Amino acid sequence: MHSVRIILFSFLFIGKLLADDDSIALLIKTAQNSESPALRTALLKGMIKGLEGQVNVNAPEGWKELSAELVKSNDPEHRALAREIGQIFGDAGATQNALSLLKNRKAKINERRSALKSLITQKQPGLEKIIHSLLNEPEMRIEAIRAFGKIANTDAHYLIKQYPNFNTQAKRAVIETLATKKESSEALLGAIEKKKILPEEVPAYTARTLHALLGERFDKAYGKVQVQSINKKELILKYSKLLDRPEASKADSSRGRIIFSAVCGTCHQMYGEGGMLGPDLTGSNRANREYILLNIVDPNFDVPDGYKMVVLKTKNNRVLAGTIGEEDSQKVILKTVSGKEIIPKENIKDRQKLPLSMMPEGILETIPTEDFFALIKYLQTEEQTEKSKK
C-alpha cells in the first residue's frame, strides 16, 4: 500500500505540473500493466487530476486499448472514470455514452450524477435542455439546479418558474445558484420584487453577494443586509487563510469522514449517514468555502426558521431543547440531540422559539489543524469517500 501511495503522489504531481502526453502516457501504461483494481482506480483519478479543466485533448498512445478494457470492467467506478477521461480526449463514443446514461432514469443515480458533471466540464452543447427535464427528478434536482450556474445560455426565468414546486433545500439551491452571475441575479431580483421569492427565503450570506452585485436596487427589495460581527469575520478570514496552505490541499478526505462523524454527524446527515437534528448537508452549497466556514464559525448568523432552537417546558417540569420535526393539533415531535421526543400538547406549559441554532460555536477550535483540513476536504467532496483506517 505504501508503494501505491508513492506512485500515486508522483503521478499526481507530474499530472498537475505538466499534463503532457508523456506524463499521461506513463499513467496509461502503468494502469494497463496493473493487476490491482485499487491502484488502477488511483491512476485513473490521477489522470483526471492532471487533465483538469482541459477539453478535446489528443489521446496519448495506449488510451484506446485501455479504454476498451475499462468500458467492459465489472467495476462501475472504472467505467465512469473511463467515460470522463474519454470525453476529455474528445471521444464521441464516451460523450454519447454519458448522454445516454444521464437520460436513463433506470441507471444508478451516482453514475448519472457523474455523467452530468463530466458533460458540464466538457461544455456539451444542448445540455441546457436536458437539465430542464432533470428538474422533475427529485434525486437529480439539486445537481440540475447547480448546473444552471455552470452552463452558458441557461434560462434563469425557467428556474424561477419551477421554484414554487421545490422543497426548502432545492429552493435555497436555486437562490444560491442565481446569485452566482450578474444576469441571473437580475432575474432573481425581479422575482423578489414580484414576491415570487420572498426576502426571508434569501439566506443572509447570499444577500451579501447580491448586495455587492446589484447595490441599492437589491437593498430596496430585500431590506437591510445583515452585518456580521468583526470577530466572526476575523475568524472566518483566519480559517480561510489556513486553507490556502499547501498541506490543506493534501488533506485526506477519508480521514475527514471520520472527523465529520465525530464532530458533525450527531446532528447532520451527509450521504445518508448521521443525525437528523440539523439540515442534511448532502445537497448544500459545499463547494463554496465561504458557505462552509460561515455556517461552522457563525452558526447563528443565518438560521432557517425550521432549524431555530425551540425550548419546551412541560407540566411535569421537564425542559426540552431541539427543533420541530412534526406538529399537529395533538402533539409536537421535537428532534433533539438524543433522538425524538413526542410531547402531547396538553402537557406543554411553555414554549419559546429562539433566534439561535442548535449548533454550538467554537467547533473548529476544538480540533487539530490537520483534522480541520481533512474535515473541509470531506465537506467539499461530491461523492461518498471510503473511511480512513487511521
What's the CATH code of the domain at 337? 2.30.30.100
For residues 295 and 149, what is the distance between their CA atoms, to the nearest angstrom? Answer: 22
108 found inside a domain: no
Q: In this structure, are 223 and 235 located in the same domain?
A: no
Residue 178: all three cell numbers together: 442565481
Give the residue from 209, 227, 245 where a domain finishes: 227
372 found inside a domain: yes
The full DSSP string for 315-383 is TTS-EEEEEEEEE-SSEEEEEETTEEEEEEGGGEEEEEEEEEESSPS-GGGGS-HHHHHHHHHHHT-SS
CB 62 within 8 A of CB 28: yes
Determine the pLDDT at residue 338. Answer: 63
What are the pLDDT digits (tens) for 128-153? 999 999 999 999 999 999 899 888 78
Q: In this structure, are 337 and 208 located in the same domain?
A: no
For residues 335 and 267, what is the distance between their CA atoms, to the nearest angstrom? Answer: 10
Please write down the long-range contacts of 190-197, taking CB distance under 8 Å and 24 or more positions apart. Answer: 191/160, 191/163, 192/218, 192/221, 192/222, 193/221, 196/160, 196/163, 196/164, 197/160, 197/163
276: Cβ–Cβ under 8 A, 6 or more apart, which residues? 269, 325, 335
The full DSSP string for 209-271 is HHHHHHTHHHHHHH-SPPPPPHHHHHHHHHHHHHTTSHHHHT--HHHHHHHHHHHTTTT-EET
The residues that bridge with 333 in the sheet, in sequence order, are 326, 342
C-alpha dihedral sign at 121, 125, 129, 134: negative
Please say if the pLDDT value at position 81 is more than 60.
yes
Determine the pLDDT at residue 40. Answer: 87
249 found inside a domain: yes
Q: In this structure, are 282 and 369 located in the same domain?
A: yes
Which has the closest alpha carbon to 256: 367, 373, 364?
Answer: 373
Q: In this structure, are 207 and 283 located in the same domain?
A: no
Determine the pLDDT at residue 367. Answer: 92
Mean pLDDT (the chain) is: 85
Total of domains in the chain = 3
User: Strand 331-336 relative to strand 319-327: parallel, antiparallel, unpaired?
Assistant: antiparallel
The residues that bridge with 324 in the sheet, in sequence order, are 334
390 found inside a domain: no
Residue 250: all three cell numbers together: 493534501
Q: In this structure, are 280 and 370 located in the same domain?
A: yes
How many residues comprise the chain?
A: 390
**Where on the phi/psi map is residue 268: left (φ > 0), alpha (ψ -120 to 50), or beta?**
beta
CB 388 within 8 A of CB 252: yes
Backbone angles phi, psi at 312, to 5 degrees: -115, 130
Please say if the pLDDT value at position 21 is more than 50.
yes
Please say if the pLDDT value at position 24 is more than 80.
no
241 found inside a domain: yes
Q: In this structure, are 373 and 294 located in the same domain?
A: yes
Q: In this structure, are 373 and 266 located in the same domain?
A: yes
For residues 268 and 125, what is the distance between their CA atoms, to the nearest angstrom? Answer: 37
Q: In this structure, are 271 and 374 located in the same domain?
A: yes
173 found inside a domain: yes
Residue 10: all three cell numbers together: 508522483
What are the pLDDT digits (tens) for 161-201? 999 999 888 898 899 889 888 889 999 999 999 999 999 88
201: domain range?
155-227
Determine the pLDDT at residue 73. Answer: 86
Q: In this structure, are 170 and 222 located in the same domain?
A: yes
Q: What is the helix, strand, coil percentage profile of the chain, to 5?
A: 55, 10, 35
34 found inside a domain: no
Residues 212-247, buried b or exposed e (16+ Cβ, 10 A)? ebbeeebeebbeebeebeeebeebbeebeebbeeee
Determine the pLDDT at residue 11. Answer: 47
Determine the pLDDT at residue 61. Answer: 82
Higher pLDDT among residues 114 and 4, named by residue: 114
Task: Give the 3-state secondary structure of residue 118.
Answer: helix
Give the residue from 199, 227, 255 where a domain finishes: 227
Q: In this structure, are 286 and 347 located in the same domain?
A: no
The residues that bridge with 357 in the sheet, in sequence order, are 308
What are the pLDDT digits (tens) for 191-248? 999 999 999 888 877 887 788 788 899 999 999 877 767 788 899 999 999 999 999 9
Residues 336-352, buried b or exposed e (16+ Cβ, 10 A)? beeeebebeeeeeeeee
Q: In this structure, are 287 and 249 located in the same domain?
A: yes
Give the residue from 173, 201, 227 where a domain finishes: 227
Backbone angles phi, psi at 326, to 5 degrees: -145, 160
278 found inside a domain: yes
Q: In this structure, are 185 and 276 located in the same domain?
A: no
